[in-house]
Structure 1
Amino acid sequence: MSDTAVLSIDSRLLSSLSKVFPDEELRDPAYAKGTALRSESFSFQLAYRSKQRAPKLKVAAESELAPHLTLKAVGLAPSELPCYADPDDFVLRTTPGLYPDPLYPLPDDGLTVYPNQWRAIWVSVDVPDDLPAGAYSIRLRLETETGETAAEETFELRVVAAKLPEQRLLHTEWFHSDCLATYYGVEVFSEEHWKLIAAYVKTAVSHGVNMLLTPLFTPPLDTEVGGERPTVQLVDVVRRGDRYEFGFGRLVRWVELCRSLGVRYFEFSHLFTQWGAKHAPKIIAEVDGERRRIFGWETDAAGEEYAGFLGQFLPELVRFIRAQGLASCSYFHVSDEPNANHLDSYRSASELVEEHLADFPIIDALSDYAFYERGLVRTPIPANNHIEPFLENGVEPLWTYYCCSQYRDVSNRFFYMPSVRNRIAGWQFYKFGVQGFLHWGYNFWYSQYSRKEIDPYRVTDAGGAFPSGDAFLVYPGEDGQPVESIRLKVFREALQDLRALELLESRIGRERALELLDEGAAAPLSFTDMPRDPALLLERRERINRLIEEMGTE
């Protein structure tokens, strides 16, 4: 802790797992050194507070790592619904108010300093693959407009001579291209829209998203019954009597763009409506020279007309997929989150799809084991609070997800939860062999059921529906670039922990790596039992890095 007499600025280095609230004392001790592997993004924070009114401050960084540093200001986001009425006790606070979350570019004219409020700077180091191993100092200074140093801290990062392996986990955060068009006021699939799509996909990929929701037709997700979301249909359809013609030009552009940005897998949008598979998604077609909706809420999913459409469309799509070299990286959905009351309707839809897509993985978020037990879905994605029956029965491949309902006893990433509860997912994925993770909210900037657009800087709970932090991971930047969040950064660290554990396993074996995770724990790690102390996660990751280093570079 440093305390200068000139402006009475307090400062402290903190880990990425700290959340700095303006109206309370810092919770965590100083964190001034760490280690990282090559190809890893390492983050820490500089917290600061003025005890009096102060001029704007600028941040200066001096380090050999300067070309690889990114500094952001940790902003505050409002939350009217931080949690539901019955949260567990693994929380930071449960009151409505301002929560640290968005990460803003540092303003050119300096940081506004509010008296007696703690604020923070987020520092990321993107370690290159070829950076020489060794210790690097990162000196951070808060300076007045006249160049006077108001506070100074130095972080030491030691780079280990081993490269973080490529991510094997399949990871999708549902990408809502309609929200981009709505918020920025651009025409869907205009050149402006494509630029926005590229910017937001690039950020997603750089944070571990390697699978992208691809809207063959407007995804029937979080849509009010009888309502519509903006049309974001990539496939052109022309209806001539009872025959259909299909155009894949926009889909080709989507695939080529996503591949160029690092997307490895494509999950094609759901072929039936959410919560029961009872209707068709909205599909627009040219009929007699006019564009009109030919399927939607009025369509019986089990009817002959939609079955006939799929019977013509899916074989054409399969031919397209094979011609584009996508056969090994294409995934399909039937319907999102069906429950036990939907077994019959889901069965009908599943059988219809299976007839044409038997060679492709079909994945759906559902938590009732009966769907898998009865052979209705080959790759179920149970929520992390309903995963036990799937673990007990050795379901392979094993996926999981969480959303607003997973708020007691399990990992998640709401504003009100400590970041350790976000990052622990990496350990859980490793221990239980999770091969895929799905979340529905990369950039959902509508109210629940997509009834209206919202300003995500003012409304962070989808209009009072979901605890803040569920609906989106990025905020819309003024320049068409996404504003990242603490939660996005910390979940990437979870994925990096997973990759580090996989590297360690290749050196010392899986049994020893697993022993390391449970060492000193009150109970073995599970999806409901997890360490709560961020210092434990940080110390354990340091040990993982040290063991990797001790075993040599090969």
Structure 2
Amino acid sequence: MTNDQPQFQTRCISSLVKVFADEPLSAPSWSKGTALWSETYAFQVAYRTEQSLHPLRVFASSELEPWMSVRAVGLSPSELPTYAHSDNKVLRQTPGLYPDLLQPLGQEGLRGYPGQWRAVWVTVELPTRAEWEAASGHGSVKDVRPFSIDVWFEDGEGTKLGGEQFVLDVLPAELPEQRLIHTEWTHYDCLASYYGVEVFSERHWELIERYASAAVRHGMNMLLTPIFTPPLDTAIGGERLTVQLVDVETAGDGNYTFGFDKLGRWVEMCNRIGIQYFEFSHLFTQWGAKHAPKIVAKVSEGGEKRIFGWETDATGEAYEKFLGQFLPELVAFIREHGLEARSYFHVSDEPSLEQLDAYRSASAILKKHLGDFPFFEALSDYNFYEQGLVPVPIPANDHIDKFLENGVSPLWTYYCCGQSVEVSNRFFNMPSARNRIIGYQLYKFRIQGFLHWGYNFWNTQHSVSALDPYRVTDAGGAFASGDAFVVYPGEEGPLDSIRWEVFREALQDLRACELLESRIGREQVVELLDAGLETPLTFRNYPRDADWLLSKRQEINERIANS
């Protein structure tokens, strides 16, 4: 249903539309869809008023209301929406305001701006089939008919201005558990800095858990675990706020004692909220493994002191002796807590070919003690894998072809600021379809893990200073908006972005493919994905339009329901 009255207009649209305030809304109406139990489904209702309206109230009604939320799509500023070398398969290349932040409606309601299209985001977090059937008054999922969801707007006097109805057909099948391992690097120093709390104070622990729990709900099942302050995006010679789970104390003559109480609390938290894997922070500096990470210890003369850092040679005697004492105790902790199959390790992030020898030397030190555990690394050069240095490679999605051609397994992938030509990514200025397509790519090429560096990086490049992500979204002009973070800091925890919600949809597409595979076989699912395409789906070649994604998922759902 579309209300085109001159004074107030509404239109139901899909989650893959970005509604800009300064342009006409050209997206077609999208008022019905299908979903599976345990899936999170989203759509939008766009609205436009000819006059200023405040307050503007939004209401929603449905049998699914206990599992529904409605949020306002806010506008976020971008001074750097694109790079000079980026492609033109984007929505726009100009700086300005981009729809991104999803805000709770609040008691004050919305504000209608004259002549501007805006939108609200409607989310339905469908329960499991068992949860639905156990709910009071609900029968078997086999008896469920399509659900109507009514969304309407009223002015401050309670006069209805317009509204839409969406029909969601929940099919008698349940989305399976996610098998893909997924990590988004949480920057715990950014939480402490933004909220003004002491690291590992009770308030900091509370925030960490809220951010991690929200990430779990979006498909993240691995958590970066800062045994020492992660040596990531740090200026050479500079340092980030200390975030160190393992207590270290000097004992004289180059010996140390270690305390694992905070790490034990961390493991308990992760077990409670659904984190399945531990990604232990890098034990050498980024881009070359030339130095030790920042490590702080209690010293005999009293107080705490940084004992390793940029001044420490990565393979020097002092740091190697330290690791020789620390790593066996860490392994004992892992075994004591039954984490052997859940623990992953890094040497150094994004090494280049000219740093191969340094990486090899650093890796050899770690593998003396950690040889039973998987090592994985974001990298782009095949030589690191070929020489056995990185058993679980994570090539960028624009450098993955050689790994695929050689049948590398297990194989992960990632993207960041460097992946702005042809491939999937989630910058502000990219169509949401370019974000969501990665779910089908991950499925087709049997990718076992996905990594991204920016869950909540609210610093300038190299962490020189903290910033306000509501005002600066490009790390101070360093990274195109959308690269450094997918959540914003709310008063009590994270606020989602459109990009984060759409990425969750991509992971759900992957899970739907896996469910269909269990019923009709992998070969037929791959044929279904490639059907009708001029060239088979790859990481560089894929349909660019939202209609293909929406109709393909509809087709997959129908095949699931009929198989």
The SS at the match of 1:112 is strand
> 1:193: how far off?
0.5
Question: Does residue 446 of structure 2 align to residue 433 of structure 1?
Answer: yes
Aligned to 1:518: 530
TM-score, L = length of structure 1: 0.98
Measure, in 1, the Cα distance between the counterparts of 2:286 and 2:120.
41
Aligned to 1:468: 481
Matched letter for residue 314 of structure 2: A
Measure, in 2, the Cα distance between the counterparts of 1:349 and 1:397.
23
Question: Does residue 148 of structure 2 align to residue 137 of structure 1?
Answer: yes
Matched letter for residue 23 of structure 2: E
Aligned to 2:135: none
Compare 396-405 and 515-524 and name the one that shifted more. Answer: 515-524
Aligned to 1:395: 408
Cα deviation per residue 1:106-152 (whole Å; 9 max; x = unaligned)?
02121100001010000000111123342000011101122111011
Question: Does residue 195 of structure 2 align to residue 180 of structure 1?
Answer: no
CA RMSD of aligned residues (A): 0.9
The SS at the match of 2:55 is coil
> What are the within-5 Å matches in structure 2 for residues 147-162 of structure 1?
147-162=158-173
Work out whether residues 36 and 157 of structure 1, in 8 Å CA contact, stay in contact via their aligned partners in 2.
yes
Measure, in 2, the Cα distance between the counterparts of 1:257 and 1:197.
10
Q: List structure 1 segments (4+ residues) > 6 angstroms apart after TM superposition.
A: none
Aligned to 2:270: 258
Unaligned stretches of 5+ residues in structure 1: none
Residue number among 415, 418, 427 corresponding to 1:405 in the alignment: 418
Work out whether residues 287 and 351 of structure 2, in 8 Å CA contact, stay in contact via their aligned partners in 1.
yes
Aligned to 1:68: 67
Measure, in 1, the Cα distance between the counterparts of 2:53 and 2:251.
71
Residue number among 367, 378, 381 corresponding to 1:354 in the alignment: 367
Aligned to 1:90: 89
Measure, in 1, the Cα distance between the counterparts of 2:410 and 2:424.
20
Aligned to 1:278: 290
Question: Does residue 201 of structure 2 align to residue 190 of structure 1?
Answer: yes
Work out whether residues 52 and 111 of structure 2, in 8 Å CA contact, stay in contact via their aligned partners in 1.
no
Measure, in 1, the Cα distance between the counterparts of 2:110 and 2:175.
35
Residue number among 486, 500, 504 corresponding to 1:488 in the alignment: 500
Work out whether residues 227 and 263 of structure 2, in 8 Å CA contact, stay in contact via their aligned partners in 1.
yes
In percent, how many aligned pairs have the same letter? 63
Aligned to 2:430: 417
> What are the within-5 Å matches in structure 2 for residues 316-395 of structure 1?
316-395=329-408
Matched letter for residue 38 of structure 1: W
> 1:85: how far off?
1.0
> 1:28: how far off?
1.5
Cα deviation per residue 1:394-431 (whole Å; 9 max; x = unaligned)?
11101000000000000000000000000000000000
Cα deviation per residue 1:298-356 (whole Å; 9 max; x = unaligned)?
00001011000101100000000010111110000000001011001000001111111
TM-score, L = length of structure 2: 0.96
Cα deviation per residue 1:433-484 (whole Å; 9 max; x = unaligned)?
000000000000000000000100000000000000000010001x221111
Question: Does residue 164 of structure 2 align to residue 164 of structure 1?
Answer: no
> What are the within-5 Å matches in structure 2 for residues 28-107 of structure 1?
28-107=27-106
Work out whether residues 268 and 331 of structure 1, in 8 Å CA contact, stay in contact via their aligned partners in 2.
yes
Measure, in 2, the Cα distance between the counterparts of 1:134 and 1:363.
46
Aligned to 2:550: 538
Measure, in 2, the Cα distance between the counterparts of 1:134 and 1:164.
18
Work out whether residues 4 and 150 of structure 1, in 8 Å CA contact, stay in contact via their aligned partners in 2.
no
Aligned to 1:508: 520
Aligned to 1:291: 304
> 1:52: how far off?
2.1
Measure, in 2, the Cα distance between the counterparts of 1:96 and 1:27.
21
Matched letter for residue 64 of structure 1: E
Aligned to 1:244: 256
> 1:545: how far off?
0.5
Matched letter for residue 105 of structure 1: P
The SS at the match of 1:134 is coil
The SS at the match of 1:457 is coil
> What are the within-5 Å matches in structure 2 for residues 204-219 of structure 1?
204-219=215-230
Measure, in 1, the Cα distance between the counterparts of 2:497 and 2:61.
25
Question: Does residue 160 of structure 2 align to residue 146 of structure 1?
Answer: no
Q: How many residues align?
A: 549
Compare 236-245 and 183-192 and name the one that shifted more. Answer: 236-245
Measure, in 1, the Cα distance between the counterparts of 2:445 and 2:3.
46
Cα deviation per residue 1:357-406 (whole Å; 9 max; x = unaligned)?
11101111011001111111111110000001111111110100000000
Work out whether residues 518 and 524 of structure 1, in 8 Å CA contact, stay in contact via their aligned partners in 2.
yes
Question: Does residue 21 of structure 2 align to residue 2 of structure 1?
Answer: no
The SS at the match of 2:206 is helix
Work out whether residues 171 and 438 of structure 1, in 8 Å CA contact, stay in contact via their aligned partners in 2.
yes
Measure, in 1, the Cα distance between the counterparts of 2:436 and 2:218.
13
Matched letter for residue 230 of structure 2: P
Work out whether residues 423 and 494 of structure 1, in 8 Å CA contact, stay in contact via their aligned partners in 2.
yes
Work out whether residues 47 and 120 of structure 1, in 8 Å CA contact, stay in contact via their aligned partners in 2.
yes
Measure, in 2, the Cα distance between the counterparts of 1:232 and 1:120.
39
Work out whether residues 182 and 219 of structure 2, in 8 Å CA contact, stay in contact via their aligned partners in 1.
yes
Matched letter for residue 267 of structure 1: E
Unaligned stretches of 5+ residues in structure 2: 133-140
> 1:4: how far off?
6.2
The SS at the match of 2:60 is strand
Measure, in 1, the Cα distance between the counterparts of 2:342 and 2:389.
21
The SS at the match of 1:159 is strand
> 1:39: how far off?
0.2
Aligned to 1:115: 114
